[in-house]
Structure 1
Amino acid sequence: MTHFNTQLLDYVSCSPTPFHAVANAVPWLLDAGYQRLNESDDWVLSPGGKYFVTRRDSSLIAFKHGAKPMLETGIRILGAHTDSPCLKVKSQPDVARQSYHQVGVEVYGGVLLAPWFDRDLSIAGQVSVLNQDKAVEQHLIDLKRPVATIPSLAIHLDRNANNDRSINAQEQMLPILWQAGGKGETFRTWLLSHLASQGVVVSEVLDFDLSFYDAQAGASLGVANEFLACARLDNLLSCFVTLQSLLASAEDVTNLVVLNDHEEVGSRSTAGAAGNFLTGVLDRLLPDTQERHRVETQSMMMSVDNAHGVHPNFVNKHDGNHGPKLNDGPVLKFDANQSYASQSVMASRVRVLARNAEVPLQDYVTRADMRCGSTIGPITATLTGIETLDIGVPTFAMHSIRELAGAKDPEMLFRLLTAFLNDY
């Protein structure tokens, strides 16, 4: 385990929700001299200044206002997303069956459901409460210990479980939170008790945005520790690396990192890439419309999101010429139907950049008889007109409750992204 990977796994393990992913990034920026901005205030931005702003507490933009004129340099942008597929608690979640108190959940994003069974689950997210002064306020919570589980059905009661299994998310994915025993406690009263135990005294829980997550922390594994296993590597690995690249970049060119929420469900929200968060910041950074359009034509973006490594047990799920391997370097992602934003001109420049930085590159194109996923890349490119490339580290088990990456790839990606911000 290198120091870089230790920091990476600590960040991901301590960020079970997008709210935590943003909150845990803020101290890095403050320590590096970044000034916090508020979207409702007037902004006075100066060359040489460093700034960041959040939206909905789950999306973040940080940027360095470079000393060189943006008309000469353009803006170098890195983008990633803070959300991951998971099980979210429903607004009226209480379900009492057979003396067990269960919690109704919604499936958020493209969750691989089977691995969620028999895991030690915890709960985290944001809670809106009415305080003692009858004012609404928000609190982050993270129980950090196992409090729930979704037990599998014994194979004796489902002899076909290993042959032809389907999972009904409404009926079969409800976590057991406690054994009721006639107590009559509800999820909201339990939340009140938890907040009180943390020294937060409130009169009422109004609403919440809470998720279940695997309480097992990230770890290195493999005989030579060549792998990293953790929840939410898609896409908090990219969030960590993009922020570290920004912090390590030079001061002369304007560089920006955007971390959007809601990518896993289509990005259609105020905090998502299809909203106006990034375009609003660019408007304030470049208030003259003509100047902004001129700068955008010289700007470049890397959309950083994990790629599918070729699985040794499922080799036929990949095109034979496009099977990225873990620990063989970052992956350029292409799709003729524009689910990825990469184009040949920018890709060729990045290949030269990677060669100069001594970072190996791999390519990913899905099989012609399959469809790939997508990223914030095409959406951001459409809204801004900025040339965009999709790139990421190869992983296994994407959208599972625990994913796997190569131990060498994050630092190689960091070197490439830092070179992009400094030298592109």
Structure 2
Amino acid sequence: MHDVADLVLDLADFITASPTPYHAVAETVRRLSEAGFTEQPEAGEWSTEPGGRYVVRDGTLLAWWQPADTRPGAPMRIYAAHTDSPTLKVKPRPDTGAAGWRQVAVEVYGGALWNSWLDRDLGVAGRLALYDGSTVLVDVARPLLRVPQLAIHLDRQVNQGLTLDPQQHLLPIWGLGAPSDGDLIEFLTAEVDVDPDEVAAHDLVVHDLTPPARLGEEEELLAAPRLDNLASVHSGIGALLAASQESSDVIPVFVGFDHEEIGSGTATGAAGPLLESVLTRIAGGFDARITSFALSRCLSVDVTHAAHPNYLGQYDPIHRSLPNGGPALKVNANQRYATDAPGAAAWARACRDAGVPSQYFVGKNTVPCGTTVGPIVATRLGIRTVDVGIPVLSMHSARELCGVQDPEFLTAAATAFLTDMT
């Protein structure tokens, strides 16, 4: 295994470099390219040569290692995560304001904890789409925006229950004066040396600027934005690179989907056709994929709920998970998680082979759980899928908390999963 301190520092660097799915993909491409992976254009001639390749579409990336001498229909071991996180997304016409304040119009993306975005120094990041068809990444990683709370003196009952209207109360301020149409885009284009008149559209979000940090007496915890689900993406890339160095007859595959937090029903989401299309070509064509998919397995990796000591009544008492206890196997009788017994056995074998502890997460019967890309992949492709994830607190907050050992546990177990020929 890697040194925990080094891996946590690398995870922190990855998160900081990835304020949006587009940046997460760009950082992943940088790492894969350094390891010798090359891009496979979706519309180009498909290569079957041994080696590492990747496909990029917007905020989604697929990467795989093609072993030498694999035949059509070879089994695949797939690691599926997602690149997006709940946030506040900038509206098409962003410039607004009131009473002498300049503000930015935003809407909520995904199931964000709204109050966690209050009174934080925020940057803005995303992509600018130009009239010539190109896109430019932008990241203002310095204090620019803030969503201020109302002083308690003007709302004496706020501690008995905070109520936020996302249309009225979540608009960030970024200065004084009268708003003017085009102000924000003009500011952002100056940051990346682009003519504002060439910008046709944009995909922009705000992001918390507080750097990731270890905390606790023994520094056994990591606080960071976007652990859901960049911690899983980071481990998946590490596992794929490690698997590429091992001799195996299975094809290891990584996919990081965009749009999981809003239901995955997009062209680049898990419910879209992209994964099926790429896996079919990796398998050797439509006929070969029948055999390949039947022999393949998928590890769906998304963070899970750590037991919260102040709210233990929200958890099943014998299926709680804790940080640094290893990634948790996620089980749900109604298949909100895709885990079944054979999939659970494959995960247990991977953890045993890697020398990694594992635990369970099963929701309390009276508290409905969330879901992941796992059931979507299993339903679309018929590939046996198992859901796992490292435990975190404050899921969907602007800042979340995990154990410092769990990312390495996850990487090691996922490497064993991606190379398992059983």
Structure-1-length-normalised TM-score? 0.95
The amino acid across from 1:53 in the alignment is: V
Other-structure match for 2:67: 66
- CA separation of 1:98 and 1:72: change in aligned 2, threshold 3 A: closer
Q: Cα RMSD over matched residues?
A: 1.5
The amino acid across from 1:36 in the alignment is: E
CA distances 1:74-119 after superposition (whole Å, capped 9, x unpaired): 1010000000000000112222201001111110000001111100
**Shift in Å at residue 205 of structure 1?**
2.5
The amino acid across from 1:264 in the alignment is: E
The amino acid across from 2:119 in the alignment is: D
- CA separation of 1:137 and 1:352: change in aligned 2, threshold 3 A: closer
| 2:142 paired with 1:148 | no
**Shift in Å at residue 266 of structure 1?**
0.4
The sequence identity of aligned pairs, in percent, is: 40
Partners of 1:419 and 1:104 in 2: how far apart? 46
The amino acid across from 1:6 in the alignment is: L
Partners of 2:331 and 2:69 in 1: how far apart? 32
Within 5 Å, give how 1:165-244 maps onto structure 2.
165-180=162-177, 182=178, 185-186=180-181, 188-244=182-238
| 2:19 paired with 1:16 | yes
Matched residue SS, 1:2: helix
Partners of 2:289 and 2:252 in 1: how far apart? 15
Other-structure match for 2:35: 32
Partners of 1:212 and 1:197 in 2: how far apart? 16
Partners of 1:60 and 1:263 in 2: how far apart? 13
Partners of 1:141 and 1:316 in 2: how far apart? 43
**Shift in Å at residue 72 of structure 1?**
7.8
The amino acid across from 1:248 in the alignment is: A
Partners of 2:346 and 2:133 in 1: how far apart? 50
| 2:104 paired with 1:103 | yes
Partners of 1:34 and 1:119 in 2: how far apart? 38
Matched residue SS, 2:219: coil
CA distances 1:279-303 after superposition (whole Å, capped 9, x unpaired): 1101222343332111111101100
Name structure 2 gaps, 5 residues minimum.
Answer: none
Partners of 1:286 and 1:349 in 2: how far apart? 21
| 2:92 paired with 1:87 | no
CA distances 1:248-283 after superposition (whole Å, capped 9, x unpaired): 112533110011000000000011000011111012
Partners of 1:113 and 1:11 in 2: how far apart? 25
Partners of 2:88 and 2:129 in 1: how far apart? 19
The amino acid across from 2:97 in the alignment is: A
Partners of 2:392 and 2:6 in 1: how far apart? 20
Matched residue SS, 1:144: strand
| 2:315 paired with 1:321 | no
CA distances 1:224-243 after superposition (whole Å, capped 9, x unpaired): 11001100000000000000
Matched residue SS, 2:183: helix
Matched residue SS, 2:134: strand
Q: Which runs of 4+ in 1 moved over 6 A?
A: none
Name structure 1 gaps, 5 residues minimum.
Answer: none
- Give the alignment partner of residue 263 of structure 1, picking from 260, 265, 276: 260
| 2:369 paired with 1:369 | no
User: Is 1:340–1:378's contact at 8 Å kept on the other side of the alignment?
Assistant: yes
Partners of 2:221 and 2:138 in 1: how far apart? 30
Aligned pair count?
Answer: 415
The worse-fitting range, judged by mean Cα deviation, of 299-308 and 64-73 is 64-73
Other-structure match for 1:51: 53
Matched residue SS, 1:274: coil
- Give the alignment partner of residue 291 of structure 1, picking from 279, 288, 291: 288
User: Is 2:81–2:229's contact at 8 Å kept on the other side of the alignment?
Assistant: yes
| 2:265 paired with 1:247 | no
**Shift in Å at residue 189 of structure 1?**
3.4
Structure-2-length-normalised TM-score? 0.95
- CA separation of 1:40 and 1:356: change in aligned 2, threshold 3 A: closer
Other-structure match for 1:360: 357
Partners of 2:191 and 2:63 in 1: how far apart? 35
| 2:117 paired with 1:116 | yes
The amino acid across from 2:361 in the alignment is: Y
Partners of 1:94 and 1:148 in 2: how far apart? 13
Matched residue SS, 1:413: helix
Matched residue SS, 1:96: strand
User: Is 1:67–1:254's contact at 8 Å kept on the other side of the alignment?
Assistant: no
Other-structure match for 1:303: 300
Matched residue SS, 2:141: coil
